[in-house]
Structure 1
Amino acid sequence: MQEKQSATATEMAQVETIIGRILQVGVVLSAIVMGIGLVIFLVTGDSGYAGHTVPLTMAAILVGSWQLKSYAIMMLGTYCLILTPVLRVVVSIYAFYKERDHLYVAITTAVLIILMIALAIGLTGK
């Protein structure tokens, strides 16, 4: 019994380390991507779009990033920052499942569903 609790505690410590690393990498990655977009904007002095137009859909952001448009790259960095805590919620669901804590699996899954609905509303603009 003691061995099983020790193994579970060790596994949970590893999951917590992974969650922390996900948050660190997500923030650093998004900062790097936003920084690249900012440097491109400062060097070219152009957003890559006519007037006050900005990319609002994920498709436009990805296409604009591929074309090295500074605003699209900065928006991509923003989406990376937004998706970082979402990934943390997904990993938390796994951690609670491994602990066999069904109440927290249900609660965290509900939080994930709410986040996905909010992201969908934000992407569609409706």
Structure 2
Amino acid sequence: MTEEKEKLLEIELRIGKILRAGVFVSSAVIIIGLVMFVFTGYSGYPGTTYPRGLSEIARGLVEFKAFAWLMAGLFLLILTPILRVLASIFAFAKEGDKMYIFITVMVLAVLVLAIFLGHTGV
């Protein structure tokens, strides 16, 4: 194998590890929230309310509220592909591939914009 192919393989392996770790951690957090909800039968919030912001989720994690743990797990799951895009930017920068850096930065901008617009309800 050539040196360039070895570098690409190494980068792909690192990116794969990031994706696996993100899915594993988010799944573990979601399972903790589900177990808490099943055993207590209580979400930790009155009625049909749930944590909506990062500060509310963080507060709910500290207070061991089941829905906060579920929301944190979902947030981590959503964050996983964003971390993959960030890792790709650094990988392309390491290779010196300016066109792919630009394209990947645009993908990241679209992801961040979509999250922002989805959060604000626009």
Report what 1:19 is aligned to: 15
Instruction: Give the 3-state SS of the residue equivalent to 1:118 in structure 2.
Output: helix
The answer to whether residue 66 in structure 2 is matched with residue 70 in structure 1 is yes
TM-score where L is the length of structure 2: 0.92
Q: Give the conservation status (yes or no) of the 8 Å contact 1:96–1:105.
A: yes
Report what 2:113 is aligned to: 117
Alignment of structure 1 residues 33-112 onto 2, 5 Å = 33-112=29-108
1:44-63 CA distances to partner (integer Å, 9 max, x unpaired)? 00000000001111110111
Identical positions, percent: 43
Instruction: Give the 3-state SS of the residue equivalent to 1:18 in structure 2.
Output: helix
For residues 76 and 95 of structure 1, the distance between their equivalents in structure 2, rounded to whole angstroms, comes to 28
Q: Give the counterpart letter for 1:92 in structure 2.
A: S
Which ranges in structure 2 are unaligned for 5 or more consecutive residues?
Answer: none
For residues 73 and 59 of structure 1, the distance between their equivalents in structure 2, rounded to whole angstroms, comes to 13
Q: Give the conservation status (yes or no) of the 8 Å contact 1:57–1:123.
A: no
Question: Structure 1 residues 11-20 or 24-33, which shifts more?
Answer: 11-20
RMSD: 1.5
For residues 14 and 125 of structure 1, the distance between their equivalents in structure 2, rounded to whole angstroms, comes to 40
1:24-56 CA distances to partner (integer Å, 9 max, x unpaired)? 111111111000000000010000000000111
TM-score where L is the length of structure 1: 0.90
The alignment of Structure 1 onto Structure 2 pairs a total of residues equal to 122
Q: Give the counterpart letter for 1:100 in structure 2.
A: G
Which ranges in structure 1 are unaligned for 5 or more consecutive residues?
Answer: none
For residues 118 and 82 of structure 1, the distance between their equivalents in structure 2, rounded to whole angstroms, comes to 12
Q: Give the conservation status (yes or no) of the 8 Å contact 1:8–1:99.
A: no
